[in-house]
Amino acid sequence: MDYKEFLKNKRIKAKPCGISVPRSLVHDMLFDFQKDLTVWALRKGRAAIFADTGLGKTFMQLEWARLSDKKTIIIAPLSVARQTVREAQKIDCQVYYVRNQSQADNSPAQIYITNYEMIEKFNPSAFGAVVLDESSILKGLDGKTRRKLTDMFSETPLRLCCTATPAPNDIAEIANHAEFLGVMSRADMLAAFFVHDDKGWRLRGHAEEAFYRWLASWGMSVRKPSDLGYDDDGFILPPLNISPLIVATNYVPEDQLFFTGLRGIGHRRQIRRETLAERVSATAEIINASNEAWIVWCNLNDESNALSAAIPDAVEVQGRDDLESKTETLSAFQDGKIRVLVTKPKIAGFGLNLQHCHNMAFVGLDDSWESYYQAIRRCYRFGQKCKVNVHIVLSDVEQEIYHNITRKERQANIMAEKLIDNVQAFEKDELAEQGSSDESYDTETVKGKGWTLMLGDSVERLAEIKDESIDFSIFSPPFMDLYTYSPTERDLGNSANAEDFFVHFGYIIDHLLRVTRPGRICAVHTADVPALLSKDGYIGLKDFPGKVISAFEDRGWIYHGRVTIDKNPQAQAIRTHSKALLFVQMEKDSAWSRPAIGDYILVFKKPGENQTPIKPVANGELTREQWIEWAHPIWWNIRETDTLQYTTARSEDDDKHICPLQLGTIERCITLWSNPGEIVLSPFAGIGSEIYQAIKMGRDGIGIELKQSYFNTAVKNLQNAERDINSLDLFAWAEAQSANNNIPLDNQGEEGEFK
């Protein structure tokens, strides 16, 4: 495969598996952005529309189902299903509400809708398309039910999820959707884009661009039409007026002299019960003074009962009500036949269109910001013409709950804005059927005395090197996905899995074979790679050196040898926090214990006769005693701290420390497998360690580095090495002049000039 084609395929994007439908076939009632999102979702086949409340997700999913031309089941929250049937009539679409597979089989319709609670009564193989309405509900389902839902429709050709915009750090919600749609598993998503530290999982700095591009390839996130470049006309919301009402109480905990704060869920519920009368009375006073429509949100049945008793024309909907009763009451409220609706957010807080009402009251709050947000958005949504009034009635001892909710709201807004800012460009490309390109990138070449450093992709820059012109290569490649150095797919570390990594590495191995002289050596630094439970499904080690050996042999190299480099287990335990190295683990259960992970230098030879013998002994670089030590399969006395300075090379997005190869290791390899004056190559130059050591030892060096900050540091390191060499040459010349003229070196003038 052509390398550019490989890079294009390597980009982590959801591959289209749907159908192409002309925009003109979408119902005229839909806005332009809704039409384009519908066409995009059909083209993708398996997609998510993360659109804010009131942006018309119902119309988009109905048109998606109609134009798919497949028997479709829409799964929706209890309160939404009947509403969807009614909304469908506005766009000349017929949807049947069904409770089981038998009802669906006995109907000639194309589109059916049911509730999440009834899904086990259906045969998924009977449908060619499925829609999850308010699919954020996946997060609220228990793991077993969520897994069952995902497994049920894993073979369904077309899948669509519709819900509000997720936060970019809401790993659970994004993973749930990716898994249901068959885009990527949670484990693969974590491996590709996230890193785990003391605070849990977080988006890798270098993976941000790739993550947002991947997300935009299967999920469209939009809070308003202008996010995608459309006009916001008709989608500008009226004012929102939130009025906290703090009710004074005499609450004192039984076991305390005075109230010291909320202690947990149980304590919160206890306080709600003990302050119920005061909150209900204050709420009823507000609502009874009005003749407008109201929604009253509560969380306890006792609150609901007390409110319906205190407000004469209030009607309540409780969880114990049967399905028909709930549906009839909610529909009656939507139609204006009921003035005051009393219910819980978990019953009617998702998906309902209640724009006819612009007044609501929360008779207490829990700590769920999503529940609070969704409840408000039943009225405060696009299409609302009036200012929306939200009254939050809390006891004086519950104020910290309100502060917690407002804090979460601020965080959610920041996160949502960040998500939109990051995905906008990618989403516009998706809608235009364009793929973002990484074909252009910066390249540069800097030369010094005896060295050349090339900025760019090793595969492409190696192509500039002549055949059979390199005498020795030494380098440390990325260790699969263990280290991440840059956000581009040109970086080997940005690979979805080991298979992709070695396909990419293969292009470099082929070039190395081409540019190396026959019979000469390539030395590769490797180590075993930890296997993580969250990414690999088990805890252990992966044989990265073995895979490298196979990759080189498959491409024509001869496996020539291996050197093990000793490592300090105590330092490794401190650095990696590996319990496998701790003595306390040895005391608990040594089945988890193992030796430290060593480094390996894998030695490969290009087939053919070496035309220029390498003579380190004749060159005065190797003694018999040294060879006796170096001939051992383990090198014991390599100092781990003997590396080049690298702090300035790290950027703020780096998630892994740069790990430059020890200079002592490089020195031994250069001594053993090259002559002075020959050319040493490193296709992963990093901060320049291999080339630095090569020119210090009288060789010429060529290095290639992809990342700009590493390249800049490498240039400085090589320029410093060049100055050091020049200083040594000057000192040698001065010493020779001193000997010839019998002038002592310390006999100098004030300005440092020789007299």
Q: What is the DSSP string of 26-54?
A: S-TTS-HHHHHHHHHHHHHSEEEEEE-TT
The answer to whether residue 146 sits within a structural domain is yes
Provide, rounded to the nearest whole percent, the portion of the chain with pLDDT above 70: 88
The answer to whether residue 416 sits within a structural domain is no
* Final residue belonging to a domain, choices 193, 228, 263: 228
pLDDT above 80 for 39: yes
At which residue do the structure tokens 């020959």 appear? 678
pLDDT above 90 for 684: yes
pLDDT above 80 for 451: yes
Task: Tell whether 141 and 43 lie within a shared domain.
Answer: yes
Over the chain, what is the mean pLDDT?
Answer: 86
pLDDT above 60 for 188: yes
Q: What is d(CA 552, CA 555) in angstroms, rounded to the nearest whole number?
A: 5
Name the 3-class secondary structure at 431. helix
Query: Which pair of tokens denotes residue 698?
Result: 């009288």
Most confident range, picked from 204-218, 584-598, 647-661, 683-697: 683-697
Over the stretch 191-246, which tens digit does the pLDDT of each residue have? 778 877 767 777 877 778 778 888 888 999 898 999 999 999 888 889 999 999 99
Confidence of residue 720 (pLDDT cuts 50, 70, 90): very high
Domain total in the chain: 3
Provide the pairing of β-strand 679-682 with 700-705. parallel
Task: State residue 365's pLDDT score.
Answer: 87
Task: Tell whether 213 and 264 lie within a shared domain.
Answer: no
Task: State residue 488's pLDDT score.
Answer: 75
Contact assessment for residue 62 and residue 93, using Cβ atoms and an 8 Å cutoff: yes
Question: Nearest to residue 669, comparing CAs of 601, 615, 608?
Answer: 601
* Final residue belonging to a domain, choices 357, 380, 397: 397
Confidence of residue 554 (pLDDT cuts 50, 70, 90): very high
Task: Tell whether 389 and 451 lie within a shared domain.
Answer: no
The answer to whether residue 325 sits within a structural domain is yes
Task: Tell whether 451 and 325 lie within a shared domain.
Answer: no
Name the 3-class secondary structure at 111. strand
Task: State residue 41's pLDDT score.
Answer: 95
Over the stretch 108-163, which tens digit does the pLDDT of each residue have? 889 999 998 899 999 999 999 999 998 887 776 667 778 888 999 999 999 999 98
Task: Tell whether 508 and 620 lie within a shared domain.
Answer: yes
Over the stretch 500-521, which tens digit does the pLDDT of each residue have? 899 999 999 999 999 999 999 9
Q: What are phi and psi of 398, to 5 degrees?
A: -110, 10
Task: State residue 753's pLDDT score.
Answer: 35
The answer to whether residue 494 sits within a structural domain is yes
The answer to whether residue 330 sits within a structural domain is yes
The DSSP secondary-structure symbol of 754 reads B
Task: State residue 82's pLDDT score.
Answer: 85
Task: State residue 434's pLDDT score.
Answer: 54
Q: What is the DSSP string of 525-587?
A: EEE-EEE-HHHHSS-EEE-HHHHHHHHHHHTTPEEEEEEEE---HHHHHHHH--GGG-HHHHH
What mean pLDDT comes out for the span 703-708? 92
The answer to whether residue 420 sits within a structural domain is no
Question: Nearest to residue 614, comparing CAs of 512, 519, 473, 474?
Answer: 519
Task: Tell whether 464 and 488 lie within a shared domain.
Answer: yes
Task: Tell whether 212 and 275 lie within a shared domain.
Answer: no
Q: Which residue has the higher pLDDT, 449 or 171?
A: 449
Task: State residue 167's pLDDT score.
Answer: 64
CA dihedral of residues 513, 515, 516, 518 (deg, nearest 10): 80
Task: Tell whether 151 and 284 lie within a shared domain.
Answer: no
> 642: Cβ–Cβ under 8 A, 6 or more apart, which residues?
662, 663, 664
Q: What is d(CA 626, CA 624) in angstroms, rounded to the nearest whole number?
A: 5
What mean pLDDT comes out for the span 670-698? 96
The answer to whether residue 557 sits within a structural domain is yes
Contact assessment for residue 595 and residue 573, using Cβ atoms and an 8 Å cutoff: no
> What is the CATH classification number for the domain harbouring 389?
3.40.50.300
Task: State residue 303's pLDDT score.
Answer: 93
Q: What are phi and psi of 251, to 5 degrees?
A: -70, 130
Confidence of residue 730 (pLDDT cuts 50, 70, 90): low
Task: Tell whether 249 and 202 lie within a shared domain.
Answer: no
pLDDT above 80 for 533: no
Please list the residues that pair with 343 across neighbouring strands.
297
Task: State residue 622's pLDDT score.
Answer: 95
| Per-residue 3-state assignment (H helix, E strand, C coil) for 694-748 | HHHCCCEEEEEECCHHHHHHHHHHHHHHHHHHHHHHHHHHHHHHHHHHCCCCCCE
CA separation, residue 721 to residues 576, 619, 662, 714 (Å): 32, 22, 16, 10
Task: State residue 748's pLDDT score.
Answer: 39
Q: What is d(CA 723, CA 684) in angstroms, rounded to the nearest whole number?
A: 23
The answer to whether residue 437 sits within a structural domain is no
Provide, rounded to the nearest whole percent, the portion of the chain with pLDDT above 90: 53
What domain range is 609 assigned to? 446-726
Q: What is d(CA 332, CA 336) in angstroms, rounded to the nearest whole number?
A: 6
Over the stretch 316-375, which tens digit does the pLDDT of each residue have? 999 888 888 888 999 999 999 999 999 999 898 888 889 999 999 999 888 888 889 989
What mean pLDDT comes out for the span 74-90? 89
Task: Tell whether 214 and 266 lie within a shared domain.
Answer: no
Task: Tell whether 383 and 473 lie within a shared domain.
Answer: no
Q: Write the burial class of residue 625 (CB in 10 Å: 0-12 exposed, 13-18 middle, 19+ buried).
A: exposed
Query: Which pair of tokens denotes residue 379?
Result: 């009225």
Contact assessment for residue 382 and residue 235, using Cβ atoms and an 8 Å cutoff: yes
Task: State residue 172's pLDDT score.
Answer: 79
Contact assessment for residue 132 and residue 161, using Cβ atoms and an 8 Å cutoff: yes
The DSSP secondary-structure symbol of 25 reads G
pLDDT above 50 for 754: no
Q: What is d(CA 523, CA 693) in angstroms, rounded to the nearest whole number?
A: 15
Residue 65 has, within 13 A of its CA and on its CB side, a CA count of 33
Helix (H) or strand (E) holding 394: strand 388-395
Least confident piece of the model among 256-260, 555-559, 677-681 = 256-260
CB pairs under 8 A, 24+ apart, for 444-451? 444/711, 446/715, 448/718, 448/719, 448/722, 449/695, 449/722, 449/725, 449/726, 450/695, 450/699, 450/700, 450/701, 450/722, 451/691, 451/694, 451/695, 451/700, 451/701, 451/702, 451/703, 451/718, 451/722
> What is the CATH classification number for the domain harbouring 205?
3.40.50.10810
Q: What is d(CA 315, CA 253) in angstroms, rounded to the nearest whole number?
A: 34
Task: Tell whether 222 and 289 lie within a shared domain.
Answer: no
Q: What is d(CA 490, CA 501) in angstroms, rounded to the nearest whole number?
A: 11
What mean pLDDT comes out for the span 412-435? 79
Over the stretch 387-422, which tens digit does the pLDDT of each residue have? 999 999 998 888 888 898 999 888 888 878 888 888
pTM reported for the whole predicted model: 0.66
Task: State residue 256's pLDDT score.
Answer: 60
* Final residue belonging to a domain, choices 397, 431, 455: 397
